[in-house]
Amino acid sequence: MRFVDEYRDAEKAHHLAASIAALCEPGRQYKFMEVCGGHTHTIYKHGIEDYLPEAVSLVHGPGCPVCVMPMGRVDDAIHIASQPNVIMTSFGDMMRVPGGNGSFFDAKAAGADIRMVYSPLDALKIAERNPERRVVFMGIGFETTAPSTAMTVLRAKAAGITNFSVFCNHVTILPAIKAILDSPDLRLDGFLGPGHVSTVIGCRPYEFITRDYRKPLVVAGFEPLDILQSVHMLLAQLAEGRSEVENQYGRVVPWDGNTRALQVINETMEPRPYFEWRGLGFISHSALRMKDAYADFDAERIFDIPGGRVADPKACQCGEVLKGVLKPWECKVFGTACTPETPIGTCMVSSEGACAAYYNFGRFTRERVKEATR
């Protein structure tokens, strides 16, 4: 096992891989979904799948916020950015995401004032410095990122800044997991729970998965060893007939999450009745919008957005990849028409996307492993 040289604790990894194999019931196949894009990245970067026993496969989930952004919302954002006097601000990851009429980069090249920021607080700063302009922050991300947007809105309100608003596209992970569990396409045996989302929401909200669906879930860290240990914990639960929420990443994730972060989300935002996820379709209560009390900071109410739905390109199979039905390389356009330079689908845009992670690392690791084991 060449790859363990890169591990912090090679001996532990050897030992884990062996006990993972020992826990597998002969003749049984195991499918675990890693919900978070960060995990997908680690798995491909370190070629973890290729070293797990044949009986265990890892399936990539919908936990990349850029990847799940539907094309219609990108078009809406570009519409806002094209209004008079507007400065649109966005995380860099969002810039290349294609909508029906191009990406932020395309709109910027065509003259829209779109600026990359590291933090929503940087967007607020741009608003303070440009009082005559209308500054909009493109809010994207799961529960990990929503508190930052919420804190920034609270700060804007407290400081009396009136030319700042948020185009809120924050999504929540639990309804997406539920949609996948209810989907007939895929039979899963358990989940690797998202590490950083859980820092905010804690471990309790996953209990419906273990109780109602009887699937074990282990909140996992991001190092190769964390992933292996979490797979081991899932297999141990199955072997003992348990389905529980366990926290492998306790050194970072408190069982009850970050209550202050949840509080600021609840103060400023509320669930939308439904939201479209790229490839997964409309999912009830799966995203957040600004509360009425913060209407003055809600770009959706300030600007008249088209709100249209745009179908994904026919050739694109991001939906199947996001649900874990297809592996990236099984998509018809993977690596040919769709590459990180010219992405058709969102999974190829973000470095956390399953397709980009596989394109950049996975396929090379697989080749190396094949050679090493030849």
Residues near another protein (CB under 8 A), total: 44
> Closest separation between CB of residue 262 and another protein, Å?
10
Closer to another protein by Cβ: residue 38 or 70: 38
String marking each residue 161-190 x if it binds another protein according to CB under 8 A: ------------------------------
User: Interface with another protein includes 258 (CB under 8 A)?
Assistant: yes
DSSP string, 92-157: GGGTT--BTTB-HHHHHHTT--EEE-SSHHHHHHHHHH-TTSEEEEEEEESTTTHHHHHHHHHHHH
> Closest separation between CB of residue 64 and another protein, Å?
7
List residues bridging with 275 in a β-sheet: 283
User: Interface with another protein includes 130 (CB under 8 A)?
Assistant: no
> Closest separation between CB of residue 264 and another protein, Å?
7
Closest CA to 339 of 322, 323, 358: 358
List residues bridging with 287 in a β-sheet: 171
Closer to another protein by Cβ: residue 223 or 244: 223
Number of other CB atoms surrounding residue 46 within 10 Å: 23
Burial of 233 (0-12, 13-18, 19+ CB in 10 A): buried
List residues bridging with 30 in a β-sheet: 56
**For residue 27, what are the contacts with CB-CB under 8 A and spacing of at least 6?**
none
Tell me which of 105, 208, 213, 222 binds another protein, using CB under 8 A: 222
String marking each residue 36-75 x if it binds another protein according to CB under 8 A: -xx--x---x------------------xxx---------
Closer to another protein by Cβ: residue 18 or 252: 252
Tell me which of 49, 50, 122, 320 binds another protein, using CB under 8 A: 122
Tell me which of 169, 199, 229, 230 binds another protein, using CB under 8 A: 199
Walk across the sheet containing 217-219 and list its strands.
56-63, 30-36, 190-193, 217-219, 245-247
Contact 16, 228 (CB under 8 A): yes
Closer to another protein by Cβ: residue 63 or 216: 63
- Cα separation, 148 vs 361, in Å, equals 31
User: Interface with another protein includes 125 (CB under 8 A)?
Assistant: yes
User: Interface with another protein includes 324 (CB under 8 A)?
Assistant: no
User: Interface with another protein includes 151 (CB under 8 A)?
Assistant: yes
Walk across the sheet containing 114-116 and list its strands.
114-116, 86-90, 134-141, 164-170
> Closest separation between CB of residue 138 and another protein, Å?
11
Structure tokens at 222: 């991001």
Tell me which of 23, 228, 231, 253 binds another protein, using CB under 8 A: 253
String marking each residue 341-360 x if it binds another protein according to CB under 8 A: ---------xxx-------x
User: Interface with another protein includes 314 (CB under 8 A)?
Assistant: no
DSSP state of 226: H
Q: Name the site residues for another protein (rule: CB under 8 A).
A: 6, 8, 37-38, 41, 45, 64-66, 91-93, 116-122, 125, 140-141, 144-145, 147-148, 151, 196, 199-200, 222-223, 251-254, 258, 260-261, 264, 350-352, 360
